Amino acid sequence: MFTLIDGKGRMLLQHRNESMARFPNLWGLFGGLVEDGEIPEVAVRREAKEEIGVDLEEMEFCGKYLSEGYELHLFIGQLEAPVEQLKNQQTEGDDLGMFSLDEIESLKMTPRIKEILQKIFKPNNLKCEY
């Protein structure tokens, strides 16, 4: 899974539409399953290209977490494209947006994803723990 951070320290999140099998109508991170033969770094780059049309050149690994029986590998990169461009390129979910930690607190998302974001996302400071 991955997110992108802008120059104001806000995090890019995806709103999952009602037809999604996992966590419909919730905000969350981008990403998907690691395919056979892939490593997490390759999977997250593939998912970034598929879901919002971006090439993740540089990203930081921010830890491995367990959630709902899945092993999640979190990566963070820098937002380089305008959000409106990403919205136009978005192929999964029905919305996306940039959110501060305070705004994330009020979003409807799984408790585990919110917990992970609160752990790594501090105002004006991302702390990636391995």
Give residue 126's pLDDT: 60
Q: Which domain, by its residues, includes 71?
A: 2-126
Give residue 11's pLDDT: 92
Give residue 33's pLDDT: 85
- Cβ neighbours of residue 118 closer than 8 Å, sequence gap 6 or more: 101, 104, 105
How many structural domains are present in the chain?
A: 1
Q: What is the CATH number of the domain that holds 46?
A: 3.90.79.10
Give residue 130's pLDDT: 38
Give residue 3's pLDDT: 93
Smallest CA-to-CA distance from 71 within 37, 109, 112, 111 is with 112
Successive 10-residue mean pLDDT values, the chain, 130 residues:
91 89 87 91 95 92 85 92 95 93 92 87 58
Give residue 122's pLDDT: 66
The rounded distance, in Å, linking the Cα atoms of 13 and 15 is 7
pTM across the whole model = 0.88
